[in-house]
Amino acid sequence: MICSLEEIKKKEVIDVKTGERLGYIDDVRMDTEKSEILSVIIYGGYRFFGLFGKEDDVELPCTSIKVIGSETILVDSSVAKCTKNKFWCFKSLFG
């Protein structure tokens, strides 16, 4: 199957081990010298309308993708890397 990035971004990402809905792919990390996609990134959602910052972003290496279906992408998120957002967080007020 050949898909464009626009088509991939419309597919829901589901963890095969827990059944948890992770969201939709927002970005990709590429190696331009080798012309390959290294990982896909799902941005964390806003907490309470953005007043309490955001949840962590999830970066999934392409090796974690198990199946790309017509409407969903199944992944093994046990190899995922969570990256902290650099946004203001309510916790930072208290230490």
CATH of the domain at 58: 2.30.30.240
Evaluate whether residue 17 is within a structural domain.
yes
CA distance 42 to 13: 9
Which residue do the tokens 């890397």 mark?
A: 81
The H or E element spanning position 36 is strand 36-42
- Cβ atoms of 57 and 21 closer than 8 Å: no
Please report, in tens digits, the pLDDT of each residue of the chain (95 residues total): 788 888 888 899 999 988 889 889 888 888 999 988 888 888 877 777 666 667 778 888 888 899 999 899 999 877 766 655 543 334 333 33
What is the model's pTM?
A: 0.71
Total structural domains in the chain? Answer: 1
What is the residue range of 38's domain? 5-88
